[in-house]
Amino acid sequence: MTLLSILGVLSSAIFSGTSLLYTTLGEVIDERAGIVNLGLEGVLLVSASSGFAVTAISGNPYLGILMSMLAGGLMNMLLGYLAITRKANQLASGLALMFFGFGLSALIGKPYVAVKIHSLSRFLLPGMASLPLKYSSLFKFDVLIYLVIPVAVLVWWLLYRTRWGLSVRAVGENADTAFASGRNPRLIRYQALFVGGMLAGLGAAHLSIAYTMNWTENMTAGRGFIAVALVIFSKWDPLRAIVGALVFSGAVAFQLLLQSSGVQVSSFLLDTIPYILTLIVLIAWGGNRRHSAPAMLGRVYQGSE
């Protein structure tokens, strides 16, 4: 195993981890407001396909990213209508959204299968210019990668240091109390869903426009569910989500490393590690109140008219 292969694996882990982290941050905001978005997989697919289509048509990847964010936000509005306004069950609504995403993305993406696009330009990590080309090419990242950690910090700041963030968390803990203190739980939930959807859209945009640079049906391959697990793993905290995304993509990288060094370990079994880790972490916290989910998570706000 050479240094080059190790660096190569790390580089690809950063690429795959980025979209995961954006998506997870989006789901953190949704769930902080008390809404579980099980349809994340569908949201990602629609965002990835529509963003890719716009990039292919306009030749401008930044327009594509904007489209992805918009699509993510709008998909979440659909969930909002069902789960907030119509008071439908969140899990069932989320799954319906997932099936919708499977279908809609296949329809949107169909003309763009195997189309080549102008991707985001990649910049060399500062201080790496002196390296030989075969090394330095591994340290070229696009702007979305450089922005992902600042965005995570921004989301943390938004949730814990702003009035809006307080409202979101209050609605997620106890919507009735939030209502009594003069907030509008429904509106706040809608807002949280829209912001969360835009972040998920960013993650999807990075996947299709910047990383793989193509569209294939069902290309997210379960990332939506990984993000839902990651939110739990990171205790609904945006900063811990960074660690969580590192663990997940690190596990992927580790598995690639083992394979490249010829060690025979089933990639299937290694893939289960992050989920089992999440399960163990959950059990270890037990019923500890401090670590538990937002109290209203998954519950319908009945309102007080």
Partner 1 sequence: MSKITERLTRFPLFGQKTVRTGMRYLLMILFAFLMFGVILLIAGIDPLKSYEDIFSSTLGSAYGFSEVVVSMIPMLITALAVALPFRVGLINIGGEGQLFIGAAFATFGALTFPNLPAWLLLPLMALLGMLGGALWAFIPGYLKSIGLVNETITSLLLNSVAPKIVGFLILGFWHSPRDTVRTPNFVDAARLPTFFGTRVHLGLVLGLVLLVIFWFVLKYTRWGLEMGAIGSNPQAAKRNGIPLAKYLVIVMCLGGAIAGLAGMVQVSGFYGTLFPNFSMSLGFMGFMICWLAGGDPLGIVLMAFVVSVIYSGGNLLQLTRGLPYAVINILLAFTLFIVLARPNFFKGKRS
Residue 75 near residue 22, CB atoms below 8 Å? no
Q: Work out how close the CB of 142 gets to partner 1 at its nearest, in angstroms, rounded to a whole number.
A: 28
Among 268, 289, 302, 305, binds partner 1 (CB under 8 A): 268
Minimum Å gap between C-beta 297 and partner 1 is: 9
Does residue 303 bind partner 1 (CB under 8 A)? no
Choosing from 33, 56, 98, 195, the residue that interacts with partner 1 (CB under 8 A) is 98
Amino acid at 260: S
Binding mask 187-226 for partner 1 (x = CB under 8 A): ------------------------------xx---x--xx
Torsion, CA 72, CA 146, CA 137, CA 125, rounded to 10 = 170
Is 99 a binding residue for partner 1 by CB under 8 A? The answer is yes
Of the candidate residues 1, 4, 92, 153, the single one contacting partner 1 (CB under 8 A)? 92
- Distance in Å, CB of 296 to partner 1, minimum: 13
Could you say whether residue 100 binds partner 1 (CB under 8 A)? Answer: yes
By CB under 8 A, which span of 2-10, 18-26, 106-114, 190-198 interacts with partner 1? 106-114
Query: Contact between 254 and partner 1 (CB under 8 A)?
Result: no
Query: Is there binding between residue 81 and partner 1 (CB under 8 A)?
Result: yes
- Told to check if 300 binds partner 1 by CB under 8 A, we report no
Phi, psi of 53 (to 5 degrees): -60, -45
CB under 8 Å to 104, separation ≥6 — which residues? Answer: 42, 45, 46, 49
Are 52 and 215 within 8 A, CB to CB? yes
Give Cβ neighbours of residue 142 (< 8 Å, ≥ 6 apart).
119, 120, 121, 122, 123, 206, 210
For partner 1, the closer of residues 65 and 84 by Cβ is: 84
Q: Smallest gap, in angstroms, from Cβ of residue 231 to partner 1?
A: 10
Do the beta carbons of residue 134 and residue 4 sit within 8 Å? yes
Residue 252 CB, shortest distance to partner 1, in Å, is: 13
Q: Does 153 bind partner 1 (CB under 8 A)?
A: no
User: Nearer to partner 1 by C-beta: 29 or 229?
Assistant: 229
Q: Which is nearer to partner 1, 59 or 303 (CB)?
A: 303
Q: How far is the CB of 198 from partner 1 (least distance, A)?
A: 22
Q: How many residues bind partner 1 (CB under 8 A)?
A: 46
Cα separation, 206 vs 203, whole angstroms? 5
272 binds partner 1 (CB under 8 A): yes
Q: Which residues are at the interface with partner 1 (CB under 8 A)?
A: 38, 78, 81-82, 86, 88-89, 91-93, 95-100, 102-107, 110, 217-218, 222, 225-226, 228-229, 232, 266, 268-269, 271-272, 275-276, 278-279, 282-283, 286-287, 293, 298
